[in-house]
Amino acid sequence: NAGVTQTPKFRVLKTGQSMTLLCAQDMNHEYMYWYRQDPGMGLRLIHYSVGEGTTAKGEVPDGYNVSRLKKQNFLLGLESAAPSQTSVYFCASSYGRGTNTGELFFGEGSRLTVL
Amino acid sequence: AQSVTQLDSQVPVFEEAPVELRCNYSSSVSVYLFWYVQYPNQGLQLLLKYLSGSTLVKGINGFEAEFNKSQTSFHLRKPSVHISDTAEYFCAVRARSDSGQNQAGTALIFGKGTTLSVSS
C-alpha cells in the first residue's frame, strides 16, 4: 500500500531557483496538507486543500504556492527559493467532513536545502 | 483557533523506567487530540488519538494518554520504556468536525515536539 508518496525526497537548490514538490495519495482522501518541519518549531502548516480545485493558506504560506488539480495530487511550488525555505516538507492527507476522524496520514518527507 | 504546548523539549530516561510526556492545549471549541511519533529520518506515525468516550486511550507500542478536559491536558505515558522508543513525539489538536467551526479549522495543529532519549 503506497499511502502518501512525496517526490523528490531530497533536493538542493540555489537561491532564486524554482521547484515543485509533488504529493500523491491513493486513499481517496478529500483533505490534503503541506507542512514544514524545522528544528524546535514542530510542524507548521503551509497550505491545505479541502477538495479538488480548492486551496487555502495555513500558518506560514509566504513564498509558496499550491495546486490541487486532481483529487489525489497536491503540489507545492517555490517560485524563487530562499535559504529560509531550507526545511523538511511533509505532505499529509485525511478523510473529509462527515467521515473525518481527524487522523492525518503522512508521507515520508522531502528534505530541501537552499544554498 | 487551537494551540498546543508541549511542556518539555527533551526528556532523557533510562531503559525500563516510566515516562510521561506532557501536553496542554487551548481551544474555544471541542477538539480531537493526537500523539504522533517520528523516528529518525522518517515521517510521522500515529501513536494514539482521543475522539470521544473514555478519557484513557491506549495506543501502539504500549503507550497511553489521558484526556483531562478541566486541565486541558493530554499527557502521554508509558510504564516501561525501551531503547527503541527513542524518537520525537508530537502532540496535536484539531477542531471536531461537528464543532461548528468552518473548514479552515480542519487542519491539525502541532506542538513543537518532545525528544525522548532512552539510554541503557
Instruction: Point out the least confidently predicted range of A102-106, B31-35, B68-72.
Output: A102-106
Confidence of residue A11 (pLDDT cuts 50, 70, 90): very high
The mean of the pLDDT values for chain A is 92
Which residues in chain B are contacts of A48 at CB distance < 8 A? 106-107
CA distance B29 to B117: 34
Could you tell me how far CA A65 lies from the centroid of its own chain?
Answer: 10
Summarize the confidence of residues A36-61 as an average pLDDT. 92
Say if the Cβ atoms of B110 and A31 lie within 8 Å.
Answer: no
Summarize the confidence of residues A40-53 as an average pLDDT. 91
Check pLDDT > 90 for residue B59: yes
Taking a C-beta distance cutoff of 8 angstroms, is the pair B20, B79 a contact? Answer: no
Q: Of A25-29, B49-53, B96-100, where does the model show the most confidence? A: A25-29
Per-residue model confidence as pLDDT tens digits over A64-113: 999 999 999 999 999 999 999 999 999 999 887 655 566 889 999 999 99
Which residues in chain B are contacts of A33 at CB distance < 8 A? 107-108
The confidence score (pLDDT) of residue A97 equals 65
Summarize the confidence of residues A45-69 as an average pLDDT. 94
Pairing of strands A10-13, A110-114: parallel
Going by C-beta distance under 8 Å and a sequence separation of 6 or more, which residues neighbour residue B102? none
The confidence score (pLDDT) of residue B64 equals 97
CA distance B9 to A106: 22
Q: Count Cβ atoms within 10 A of the Cβ of residue A68 and give its class: 0-12 exposed, 13-18 middle, 19 or more buried.
A: buried
Say if the Cβ atoms of A101 and B49 lie within 8 Å.
Answer: yes
C-alpha cell at A4: 502518501
CA distance A41 to B3: 13
CA distance B106 to A107: 19
The confidence score (pLDDT) of residue B104 equals 46
Taking a C-beta distance cutoff of 8 angstroms, is the pair A33, A105 a contact? Answer: no
CA distance B60 to B35: 11
Confidence of residue B97 (pLDDT cuts 50, 70, 90): low
User: A-contacting residues of B 43-82, CB under 8 Å?
Assistant: 43-46, 49, 51
Q: How far is A4 from chain B (nearest CA, A)?
A: 10
A28: left (phi over 0), alpha (psi -120 to 50) or beta: left
Say if the Cβ atoms of B51 and A101 lie within 8 Å.
Answer: yes
Higher-pLDDT residue of B54, B102: B54
Helix, strand, coil proportions of chain A in percent (round to 5)? 5, 55, 45
